[in-house]
Chain A
Amino acid sequence: MSAQANKTVAQNLEKLEELLAWFESEEITVEESLAKYEEALKLSKELEDQLKNAKNQVEVIKKKFNA
C-alpha cells in the first residue's frame, strides 16, 4: 500500500512540475490559469497530507548464500 502511495506522490509531483512549467510559459489565459491554479493548490495540499505522516517500512531478509 505504501508503494502505491508513493506512486501517487510521484504523479502529483510530476503534475506540479508541469503546472510550474506552464505558468512559466508565455501564453497564459485567465480561464486556464484559474483552473490550473486550483489544481496546483489541490496538489500541494494533497502532497502535504501524503508526506507529513508517511512512514517507511523495512523488510529484512536473513539468508546465507552459498559461494
Chain B
Amino acid sequence: MQDVTLGVSEAIELINGALDQAFPFILVEGEVASFKVNQGKFVFFDVKDESGSLNCFMMAFSLKFPIQDGMKVRILAQPKITAWGKFSLTVREIMPVGEGSLKKSFELLKAKLEKEGLFDETRKRALPRLPTRIGVVSSSQAAGYIDFLKILENRWGNLVVVLVDVPVQGIEAPAQIIGALAHLNELAIPVDVIAVLRGGGSADDLSAFNHEDVVRAIATSRAPTIVGVGHEVDVSLADLVSDRRAATPSNAAEILVPDKKEVLARAQRTADMAFNGVTAAIRVFQEDTNLITKDISKTLENFMTLQNNSITSFKRTLNQLNPEAVLKRGYSLVKKGNKIMASTSDVILNDEVSIQFKDGTIGAKVTDVSSSK
C-alpha cells in the first residue's frame, strides 16, 4: 500500500472505505454543543464528553427529537472524512438520553405537535366496539405483550391477534415501529384496531414512543390505535396522539374487549328482564280483560235499566188506555151485540143495547136519538 501513490480524493475514498468496513455505524453518547441548522436543511453540532469532541452532520429531516445544546444524546452515525479532510460523523439517528434531556426534548416536541393539533380530542376515533382482528406492534419478548395476551384470553375469545414482532427500545426501535404500523395498515385482511404496546422501563427505554415520526405514524394510522406504553405514570407522545390511551398493556386488553363473564351476566339479565316483561305483559292483559268485562256488564246493566224504565212507562200508558180503567173512573161502555157504540149514528130508535159499568152490565132500549149538532 505504501508503494502506491494516491491522489487526495482517492486517499479520502480509501480511508472512507476502510472506515465503512470497520465501522459501518457507531453508537456514540455525549453532550450536544454548537447545535445549528443551516438553510433549514443541514444540521451541524458537536458531541463531547470531558476530554473529547466530535463534529457531527445530519440532514434536518432526520431530526426526530428536538435537540438543544447541553442535551445528552445517543447517535447512530457513520464516521467519515469530508471532501475537505475534516473528520465528521454523519448522523442517521439521534435521540436524547438521560431523564433531563428526554424531558426537555419531550416538552419541546409536545408543544410543537400540540400546536399542529395532533393531540386534539376531535381527531380521536372510536375504537371498534368488539374487534375481531387486533394488530399489535410490540416485541414478542416484552412482558407487557405477554400480559396483554393473557388478559385478552381471559376476557374474550375468537380473536385473531396479528403481532408484528419488533424491538420497542433502542436506536433501531423507531424505524421498526413505524414499519410495523405501515405493515399492519396494509394487510390484505385489515385489522380492526392497532395496539402499540410496551411494558414499563426507564425514560431511555421508552424514548422511541416520543420519536416524532413514530408519533406521526400513529396519528396517520388507517386503523384506530390504542397505545399502552410503560406504567400508569408514564406519559408518552404516542399516548397523547393515539385514539385511545391505555395506562398499561394490560389495560389496553381491558379496553379492547369486554369481559365475557360480564357479557354473559348481562345476557342472563336480559333474559330475566324478558321473562319479567312477559309476566308483566300478561298481567296487564289480564287487567285489561277484566276492565273490558266490567265495562261490558256495566253497559248491559245500563241498557237493561233503560229497557226496564221504558217498559214501566209503556205499561203505565197501556194501563191508562185500558177501558176498564176508564170504567173505573165512572164512565160506561155502550155495545150493540159485540160492537161498541161510539156515535149517535151507530144506533136507531128501539135498538137494544147493553151498557157496561165497572161492576156489571145492564140492558137498555134506545128511546130517543138526538145528535148534539
Chain A residue numbers with a CB within 8 Å of B130 are 6, 9-10, 13
B213 nearest CB across to chain A (Å):
9
Bound Cα distance A33, B271 (Å): 11
Q: How far is the CB of B20 from chain A (nearest CB, A)?
A: 17
B129 within 8 A of partner (CB):
yes
A67-B158 contact in complex given A33-B274, A36-B274, A37-B277, C-beta closer than 8 Å:
no
- A16 x B160 contact (CB < 8 A): no
A34-64 interface mask toward B, CB cutoff 8 Å, 1 = contact, 0 = none?
Answer: 1011001101100110111111111111111
Rounded to whole angstroms, the CA-CA distance of A49 and B284 in the bound complex is 35
Q: Which residues of A contact B251 (CB under 8 A)?
A: none
In the complex, what residues of A have CB within 8 A of residue B278's CB? Answer: 30, 33-34, 37
Give Cα distance in the complex from A16 to B274, angstroms.
10
Distance, CA A1 to CA B66, complexed state (A): 47
CB atoms of A30 and B281 under 8 A apart: yes
Point out the residues of chain B lying under 8 angstroms from A19, CB to CB. 270, 274
Q: Interface 1/0s, chain B 76-97, versus A by CB < 8 A? A: 0000000000000000110000
* Known A-B contacts A3-B133, A65-B176; A23 and B277 likewise in contact (beta carbons under 8 Å): yes
Residue pair B140, A60 in contact (C-beta under 8 Å):
yes
Asked if residues A57 and B183 are in contact (CB atoms below 8 Å), the reply is no
Chain A hits for B240, CB < 8 A:
none
Measured between beta carbons, the chain B residues less than 8 angstroms from A60 are 140, 163, 165
CA distance A3 to B282 in the complex (A): 41
CB pair A3–B157 under 8 Å, yes or no, is no
Contact A33 B281 (CB under 8 A): yes
Chain A residues numbered 1-31 whose CB sits less than 8 Å from any CB in chain B: 2-3, 5-7, 9-10, 13, 16-17, 19-20, 23-24, 28-30
Q: Given contacts A30-B278, A30-B281, A56-B152, are A65 and B166 in contact (CB under 8 A)?
A: yes
Chain A residues with CB below 8 A from B346, complex form: none
Q: Is B153 a contact of A48 with CB atoms below 8 Å?
A: no
Residue from A2, A13, A16, A67 within 8 A of B159 (CB atoms): A2
Q: Which of B38-65 contact A (CB under 8 A)?
A: none
Instruction: Confirm or deny: B164 has a beta carbon within 8 angstroms of a beta carbon on chain A.
Output: yes
B180 proximity list for chain A (CB < 8 A)? 63, 65
Q: Would you call A67 and B92 a contact (CB within 8 A)?
A: yes
The stretch that binds A, out of B4-12, B111-119, B229-237, B259-267, is B259-267
B174, chain A: closest CB distance, angstroms: 8
Which A residues form the contact surface with B (CB < 8 A)?
2-3, 5-7, 9-10, 13, 16-17, 19-20, 23-24, 28-30, 33-34, 36-37, 40-41, 43-44, 47-48, 50-67
In whole angstroms, what is the CA distance A16 to B265 when docked?
12
For residue A43, which residues in chain B have a CB less than 8 angstroms away from its CB? 267, 270
Residues of B within 8 A of A3 (CB): 132-133, 158, 160, 189
Give min CB distance, A10 to chain B, whole Å: 5
A43 to B281, CA, bound (A): 21
Are the C-beta atoms of B175 and A56 separated by less than 8 Å?
no
Known: A13-B263, A30-B282, A56-B156. A65 touches B270 (CB 8 A): no
Known: A30-B285, A44-B268. Is A63-B274 also a contact (CB below 8 A)? no
Cα distance A18–B243 in the bound complex, in angstroms: 28
28 A-B pairs with C-beta separation under 8 A: A6-B132, A6-B159, A10-B129, A16-B270, A20-B273, A23-B270, A33-B274, A33-B278, A36-B277, A37-B271, A40-B274, A41-B271, A41-B274, A44-B268, A44-B270, A51-B156, A51-B263, A52-B260, A56-B152, A56-B160, A57-B159, A57-B160, A58-B160, A60-B165, A62-B165, A63-B179, A63-B183, A65-B175
